[in-house]
Structure 1
Amino acid sequence: MKILNKVALLFVLATQTIYAQTNQETNLWKSGRPDGHAPISVMGDHYHNKGDIMFSYRYMFMNMSDLLQRTSAVNNSYAHDAGYMVTPLKMPMQMHMLGVMYAVSNKVTLSAMMNYITNNMDLQMRMPSGMTSKFSTKSNGFGDLKLGLLYKFINKNKNSLHGIVGLSIPTGTIEAEDETPMSSPNKVQLPYPMQIGSGTYDLDLGFTYLGQTTDFSWGSQLKATYRFGKNEYEYSLGNKYSFNNWFAYKTNNWLSFSGRLEGLVVESINGANPNLMPMMVTTADTSNSGGTFINAGVGFNIYAFKGSLKNVRFGFEYALPIYQEVIGIQLAQQQTFTAGIQYSL
C-alpha cells in the first residue's frame, strides 16, 4: 500500500509539473504567428530562442519632394530669393537591406545588417539673368554595417520586454561625387543627403515592449541613435530619437493587418564639410537639417505556418508623414513603401 501511495503521489506531482509547464508556455508571447513580428519597417522588434537563425531581405522606397520652411510649404523661387543658387525639386531613395539574426541563448540574440542605397536628386539652378535650368545627381553604394544585440528581460503573461544595443560601423562612403553644371566636366563632392554613410561610429540604444491576445498584438519601441565624434570631413549627422507604436489584428493563422504611429526627432548636423558651399544649394547648408516628424503606416504580414514554405514571412507597409516640422528649408517627406521577406530556421 505504501508503494501505491508513493506512485500515486509521484503521478500527481508529475501531472502538476506538466500542467504548470504547459500553462507557462501557453502564456508566453510567441513570434510564430503572422502578427508575431512588427510591421516590416520596424527593426529589432523581436528576439529568437537559442539556436534559431533568421535571414531577411527588405526593400524600401522613400520619396521627398516640395519644399518646406518649418511647417509651411514654400516654392523654389522663395529659396532662390533667400540666396541659394540651387534648390532641390525631389529626391527618391531606394534601399536594399540584407540581415541575419542568431540566438546564442534564450536571452541573447545577435544581429547584423548591410544595405545598398541608391539616391537620386533633381535640382533647379537659377542664373544671374533669372533664367532657371534643371539637372540631376545620383549616388549609390553599400551603406554602414549595423551590428546589434537584443536582450530579453521578460516573457510572461503574453507580454515581453527586450533591450536593444546596436553599433553602426562607418563602411558607407561620405565621398560620393557627381557632375553638376557648375563643375562640368569634373565631379564634385555631393551634399549631405546624397552621401551613403555617416562617417562616424553610431550607437543605438532602445527598448521594445510586446503584447498579445488570441487575435491581437501590439508593441512599442523607444530608440535613440547617438553619433560619436566627427568624421574626416569635420561633421556628424544629427542624433535621432524615435517612439514607434503598432497594433495588429490576426485574421487567421497566416495573415494579419497592422497600423503604426511613429514620433521621430532628428537633430541638426553638427559641424560642416569644408568642401561644400552652403549658399550654393540648400542641401549643403547644415542650418537646413533636422526636424520633428510624426509618421503613420498601414501594412500586412503573411506567414507560412506549415508546408514546404514553413517559417517564411512576407511583410508590406505603406507610410506617410502626418506632421513634419523641418529646420530651415528642406524637401518634404512623402510616401514610403517597405516590403520584405524573412525566413527562420
Structure 2
Amino acid sequence: MYSFNVKKLSVALIVISPMIAKAHDVESPSFLPESHAPAGVMSDHLHKQGEWMVGYRFMRENFSGLYYGSEKVTGAELNAAGYSMQPRSMAMEMHMLDIMYAVSDNLTLMLMPQTMSMDMTMKMTEGSHMHGDMAMDGMGAMGEMSTAEEAKPAMHASHSHGTSGIGDTVFAGLFRLADTSGYKLHTTLGISAPTGDVDLKNTDGTFTHYGMQLGSGTWDFMPSITYSSGRERLSWGAQASARLPMEDKNDSGFRFGERYAATAWSAYRLTNWLSLSSRLSYTKQLDINGHYNGPHNHSSPADLQKNYGGEFVDAAVGANMVPQGGALAGVRLGLEWSSRVSGHYNGYQLGRDDGLNMSLSYAF
C-alpha cells in the first residue's frame, strides 16, 4: 500500500527547492506564501476585481485496518458479525481544476470540476465458507464449486477492484464580509452538481460499494465561512463548512449523509518564498440514507449503509511556496501531509491512515 509520511514530505521540499532557486528573499515580498491557507483547505481566499486564477489540486488518501467505533477488530470478529468479505486496504485519489474569477473585490466566482479514482483490496473473512454460485464483491460470479476442498484455496485469497472517472462538479460564490487591518472574513455559498456516476456495477451486474461510486448523485449545498488574520510573518485562520444533500435520494435510490467540518491552521513565513503550516480538523459525517434500488451485495461492510460516516480528528503539516522573481514568479505550490489523530467510525470501516494534498495555482 502506498503511504506518505513527514520524511517523504521533507524530501519533496528538498527536491522542489532548486526549481525555485531564483525566488530569493527580497526586502518587500510581492507574493506572501502564507496569504493562502494550507493545501487541504478550499475556498480560502478572494481575488481583486477582474483577476483570474487557474489552479490544479490533487488529493490522495490511504485506508487500512478494520475498525468498529474506535476499536480495531479482526477478520474473525467481522465474520462473527455476519460478513464473508473483509476489506484490507483502499486508496482514493482526486484531481481537480480550480478556476476563479473576481466579479468585484467583494465577490469571486469559483468552478471546480474533478475526476476520482478508488481502488480496494479484499479477502475472505476468517471462518467464512464459500458455497456454490457465490458471488464475491467486485469479482462477479465465482462459479459452482462441487466440494469444500475445491473452495479451500480461495477462502483467504485477496482480490482488488476499482472505479474511476468524472466526479461531481462544484461551483460557488465567495462573498467578502469584512476586510480590516486586523482580520478578513468571507462566506462561500456553493453547489455540487451530480456529474459523477452513482450506478457503477460489478462484473456480476450488482452495484459496487456505496463509497466507490464517483459522486453523490444529488444536488448538494456547500456553505462555509472562513476567517483569516496575521501579524508580521505569522498567520492563522479557521473555516467551518458543510455538505448538505438537497434531495431525498439519487437515481440509484440512496443519498449520502450530511457532512459537517471545522478546521483551524497557523503558518509562519520562514523566507519570502516559503511558509510552513500546521492544521487541525474535525469532521462529522452521517451515514447513508435509502438503499440501492437494484441488485447489490451484503457480504462486505462497504455494502451496507450503516457502515459509513463517523466523527474524526485529523492533523496536518505543510508548506506553501511562491517564487518572487524569475519565470515562476507568482506561481503558488502548496503541499500538505495529514494523518488521523482519532476517529469513531459508524459500524465496520477501514481506518484512514494518511493523505497528501497538493495545490498549484497562478493568478493574473
Pick the TM interval, shorter chain.
Answer: 0.7 to 0.9
Q: Which runs of 5+ in 2 are unaligned?
A: 1-28, 131-147
User: Could you list the per-position Cα deviations for residues 68-100 of structure 1 after superposition, in whole angstroms to 9, with x for gaps in the alignment?
Assistant: 000000012211221112121111111111110
Q: State the shift of 1:133 in Å.
A: 2.2
Q: Which residue of 1 aligns with 2:188?
A: 164
Please point out which of 302, 308, 312 is paired with 1:293: 312
Q: Which residue of 1 aligns with 2:202?
A: 178
State the secondary structure of the residue aligned to 1:47. Answer: coil
Q: Which residue of 2 aligns with 1:107?
A: 106
Is 1:224 the counterpart of 2:226 in the alignment? no
State the secondary structure of the residue aligned to 1:217. Answer: strand
Q: Which residue of 1 aligns with 2:96?
A: 97
User: Conserved in 1, the CA contact under 8 Å of 2:311 and 2:343?
Assistant: yes
Alpha-carbon distance in structure 2 between the residues aligned to 1:256 and 1:199 = 38
Q: Which residue of 2 aligns with 1:305?
A: 324
Q: Is the alpha carbon distance of 1:31 and 1:310 closer, same or farther for their aligned partners in structure 2, counting shifts above 3 Å?
A: closer
Greater RCO structure (CA 8 Å; 6+ sep): 2
1 or 2, which has the higher strand percentage?
1
User: Conserved in 1, the CA contact under 8 Å of 2:207 and 2:297?
Assistant: no
Please point out which of 118, 138, 152 is paired with 2:176: 152
Please point out which of 199, 214, 227 is paired with 1:196: 214
Q: Is the alpha carbon distance of 1:223 and 1:31 closer, same or farther for their aligned partners in structure 2, counting shifts above 3 Å?
A: farther
Please point out which of 126, 129, 150 is paired with 1:127: 129
Q: Which runs of 5+ in 1 are unaligned?
A: 1-29
User: Conserved in 1, the CA contact under 8 Å of 2:199 and 2:252?
Assistant: no
User: Conserved in 2, the CA contact under 8 Å of 1:311 and 1:344?
Assistant: yes
Alpha-carbon distance in structure 1 between the residues aligned to 2:218 and 2:224 = 19
Q: Which moved more, 1:114-123 or 1:301-310?
A: 301-310
Alpha-carbon distance in structure 2 between the residues aligned to 1:135 and 1:203 = 37
User: Could you list the per-position Cα deviations for residues 218-251 of structure 1 after superposition, in whole angstroms to 9, with x for gaps in the alignment?
Assistant: 0000111100121012211011100010000011
Alpha-carbon distance in structure 2 between the residues aligned to 1:204 and 1:280 = 33
User: Conserved in 1, the CA contact under 8 Å of 2:320 and 2:334?
Assistant: yes
State the secondary structure of the residue aligned to 1:300. Answer: strand
User: Conserved in 2, the CA contact under 8 Å of 1:139 and 1:178?
Assistant: no
User: Could you list the per-position Cα deviations for residues 284-325 of structure 1 after superposition, in whole angstroms to 9, with x for gaps in the alignment?
Assistant: 111111100001000000012233222100010000010100
Q: State the shift of 1:49 in Å.
A: 0.7
User: Could you list the per-position Cα deviations for residues 191-243 of structure 1 after superposition, in whole angstroms to 9, with x for gaps in the alignment?
Assistant: 11110010000001110000011110000001111001210122110111000
Please point out which of 224, 227, 231 is paired with 1:213: 231
Q: Which residue of 1 aligns with 2:141?
A: none
User: Conserved in 2, the CA contact under 8 Å of 1:57 and 1:341?
Assistant: yes
Is 1:320 the counterpart of 2:339 in the alignment? yes
What is the letter of the counterpart of residue 71 of structure 1?
S
Q: Which residue of 1 aligns with 2:275?
A: 256
User: Could you list the per-position Cα deviations for residues 248-267 of structure 1 after superposition, in whole angstroms to 9, with x for gaps in the alignment?
Assistant: 00112100000000010001
Q: Which moved more, 1:107-116 or 1:79-88?
A: 79-88
Q: Which residue of 2 aligns with 1:140?
A: 164
Give the total of aligned pairs.
Answer: 310
Alpha-carbon distance in structure 1 between the residues aligned to 2:294 and 2:64 = 26
Q: Is the alpha carbon distance of 1:77 and 1:274 closer, same or farther for their aligned partners in structure 2, counting shifts above 3 Å?
A: farther
Q: Which residue of 2 aligns with 1:52?
A: 51
What is the letter of the counterpart of residue 188 of structure 1?
T
Q: Which residue of 2 aligns with 1:86?
A: 85
Identical pairs, percent: 33
Q: State the shift of 1:276 in Å.
A: 5.0
Alpha-carbon distance in structure 2 between the residues aligned to 1:204 and 1:147 = 9
Q: State the shift of 1:277 in Å.
A: 4.1
Alpha-carbon distance in structure 2 between the residues aligned to 1:54 and 1:158 = 25
Q: State the shift of 1:176 in Å.
A: 1.8
Q: State the shift of 1:110 in Å.
A: 0.3
User: Conserved in 1, the CA contact under 8 Å of 2:206 and 2:297?
Assistant: no
State the secondary structure of the residue aligned to 2:104. Answer: coil
Q: Which moved more, 1:151-160 or 1:317-326?
A: 151-160
Q: State the shift of 1:333 in Å.
A: 0.7
User: Conserved in 1, the CA contact under 8 Å of 2:65 and 2:351?
Assistant: yes
User: Conserved in 2, the CA contact under 8 Å of 1:276 and 1:284?
Assistant: no
Q: State the shift of 1:138 in Å.
A: 0.9
What is the letter of the counterpart of residue 148 of structure 1?
A
Is 1:237 the counterpart of 2:281 in the alignment? no
Alpha-carbon distance in structure 2 between the residues aligned to 1:222 and 1:31 = 30
Q: Which moved more, 1:278-287 or 1:231-240?
A: 278-287
What is the letter of the counterpart of residue 231 of structure 2?
T
User: Conserved in 1, the CA contact under 8 Å of 2:168 and 2:215?
Assistant: yes
Alpha-carbon distance in structure 2 between the residues aligned to 1:305 and 1:106 = 24
Q: State the shift of 1:31 in Å.
A: 9.8
